[in-house]
């Protein structure tokens, strides 16, 4: 149902405010039909980058190509990108039906076509029966679905989403993530999704772009980024990491890739000994903090069910891990 070519190409894109650089020389290829997430802390430039793609921010340098054609000078309303805003930005004076119909009605489509299409979209986001309601009569999750239906109604080649789940509570968020992924699969539109939530990024994306200080830190599939972080920032922002200094290089080691055993019983390619500082029970996992001489405290996650009784603080333990568990980073210092 998507019209046009939804592949986006950002070339050396920058946004400067005076001396401050919000987006710094970003080059990125976004494939047609891809679910791409821009992930980063606040101030990393991810929202500014999205607003530049949407056409709400001028470009200081660089270009944006849609299907090979530059759209850098095209105004927002001519880009034909759907957008879901933080806080949804539904039109408060219009019913759900009129909100969803808006993109078609400004394009002067015939009424019969609009009504059929709105019904189809209500069906897609499972909001049948809510057409006559006003936005204020809906819950947050329902408003979010209406905003999604409105943005997809005119079959845009690209859908931009600016932290659309930020206002929802955690349980609902997990539910909506699954729905969003399902809708992405059904409509085949390119999704560009901005979030600071690593779990959202990991669970929904085809590829994740980790951003910091206006630059791209690393791009890859969720598994690739998690298993092979290239920088300390990538390793600590997506999941948790211990940082080890060996042979003048820095290695990232995930807490769940370390085996913990009582002193003298540890077997592995790499081994250090230490003392348990603290242990915290999280249901599925036990999180240990282990003091090792000459290092920062090391965090170790252990499967709570398989490991049995937790070892109390003060216990002497061995930490072991395989060679492939520790990932060498390109950073020289952390």
Applying CB under 8 A, which of residues 22, 38, 52, 83 lies at the interface with another protein? 83
The Cα–Cα gap between 136 and 220 comes to 39
User: Minimal distance in Å, beta carbon 122 to another protein?
Assistant: 17
State the virtual CA torsion across 229, 233, 235, 238 in degrees, nearest 10.
-110
Distance of CA 77 to the CA centre of its chain: 26
Answer whether 210's CB lies under 8 Å from 238's CB. Answer: yes
Q: From the centroid of its chain, how far is CA 72?
A: 25
1 binds another protein (CB under 8 A): no
CB of 155 or CB of 334, closer to another protein: 155
Q: How far is the CB of 1 from another protein (least distance, A)?
A: 17
Binding mask 94-123 for another protein (x = CB under 8 A): --------xx--xx----------------
Distance CA 172, CA 207 (A): 23
β-pair partners for 262:
317
- Residue 85 lies near another protein (rule: CB under 8 A): yes
Of residues 201-240, which lie at the interface with another protein (CB under 8 A)? none
CB of 91 or CB of 305, closer to another protein? 91
Query: Which of 82, 220, 229, 239 touches another protein (CB under 8 A)?
Result: 82
Please identify, among the stretches 23-31, 91-99, 179-187, 225-233, the one whose residues bind another protein according to the rule CB under 8 A.
91-99
Indicate whether 80 belongs to the interface with another protein (CB under 8 A): yes
Position among 18, 92, 129, 312 found at the interface with another protein (CB under 8 A)? 92
- C-alpha 254/C-alpha 237 separation (Å) is 12
Which is closer to another protein, CB of 161 or CB of 260?
161
Residue 154 has phi, psi (to 5 degrees) of: -95, 25
Least distance from C-beta 79 to another protein, angstroms? 8
- Which range in 18-26, 32-40, 63-71, 78-86 contacts another protein by CB under 8 A? 78-86
CB of 130 closer than 8 Å to CB of 183: no
CA gap 237, 231 in Å, rounded:
10
Query: How large is the angle between the packed helices 140-152 and 96-105, nearest 10 degrees?
Result: 20
Binding mask 47-66 for another protein (x = CB under 8 A): -------xxx----------
Q: How many CB atoms lie within 10 A of CB 242?
A: 24
Min dist CB 72 to another protein, Å, is 16
How far apart are CB 65 and another protein at their closest, in Å? 19
Chain positions 152 to 211 lying near another protein, rule: CB under 8 A, are 154, 160
DSSP string computed for 293-312: TTSPPEEEEEEHHHH-SPPP
Strand, helix or coil at 38?
strand
Residue 227 neighbours by CB under 8 Å, 6+ apart: 327
Of the candidate residues 16, 67, 69, 76, the single one contacting another protein (CB under 8 A): 76
Least separation in angstroms between residue 11's CB and another protein is 23
- Quote the least distance from Cβ 85 to another protein, whole Å: 5
Task: Determine, following the binding rule CB under 8 A, whether residue 74 of this chain makes contact with another protein.
Answer: no
Residue number, 34 or 163, with CB nearest to another protein: 163
User: Considering CB under 8 A, how many residues would be counted as binding another protein?
Assistant: 33
Which residue stretches of the chain are H helix?
46-54, 76-79, 96-105, 111-124, 140-152, 170-187, 198-204, 222-227, 232-237, 304-307
Binding site for another protein (CB under 8 A): 54-56, 75-83, 85-93, 102-103, 106-107, 134-136, 143, 150-151, 154, 160
């Amino acid at each position: 149902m998507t019209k046009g070519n939804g592949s986006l190409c950002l070339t050396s894109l920058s946004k400067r405010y005076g001396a401050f650089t919000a987006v710094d020389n970003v080059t990125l290829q976004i494939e047609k039909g891809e679910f791409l997430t821009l992930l980063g802390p606040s101030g990393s430039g991810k929202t500014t980058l999205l607003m530049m793609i949407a056409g709400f921010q001028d470009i200081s340098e660089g270009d944006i190509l849609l299907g090979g054609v530059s759209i850098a000078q095209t105004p927002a309303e001519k880009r034909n990108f759907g957008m879901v805003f933080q806080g949804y930005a539904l039109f408060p004076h219009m019913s759900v039906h009129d909100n969803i119909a808006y993109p078609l009605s400004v394009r002067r489509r015939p009424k019969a076509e609009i009504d059929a299409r709105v019904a189809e979209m209500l069906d897609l986001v499972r909001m049948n029966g809510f057409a006559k309601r006003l936005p204020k009569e809906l819950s947050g999750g329902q408003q979010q679905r209406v905003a999604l239906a409105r943005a997809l109604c005119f079959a845009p080649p690209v859908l931009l989403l600016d932290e659309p789940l930020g206002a929802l509570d955690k349980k609902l968020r997990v539910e909506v993530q699954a729905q969003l992924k399902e809708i992405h699969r059904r409509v085949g539109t390119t999704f560009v999704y901005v979030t600071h939530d690593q779990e959202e990024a990991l669970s929904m994306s085809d590829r994740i772009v980790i951003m910091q200080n206006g630059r791209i830190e690393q791009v890859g599939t969720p598994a690739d980024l998690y298993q092979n972080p290239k920088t300390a920032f990538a390793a600590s922002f997506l999941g948790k990491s211990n940082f080890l200094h060996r042979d003048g290089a820095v290695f990232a080691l995930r807490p769940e890739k370390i085996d913990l055993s009582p002193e003298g019983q540890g077997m592995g390619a790499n081994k250090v000994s230490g003392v348990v500082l603290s242990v915290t029970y999280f249901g599925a996992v036990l999180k240990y903090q282990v003091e090792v001489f000459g290092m920062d405290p090391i965090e170790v996650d252990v499967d709570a069910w398989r490991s049995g009784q937790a070892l109390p603080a003060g216990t002497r333990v061995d930490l072991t891990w395989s060679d492939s568990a520790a990932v060498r980073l390109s950073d020289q210092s952390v």
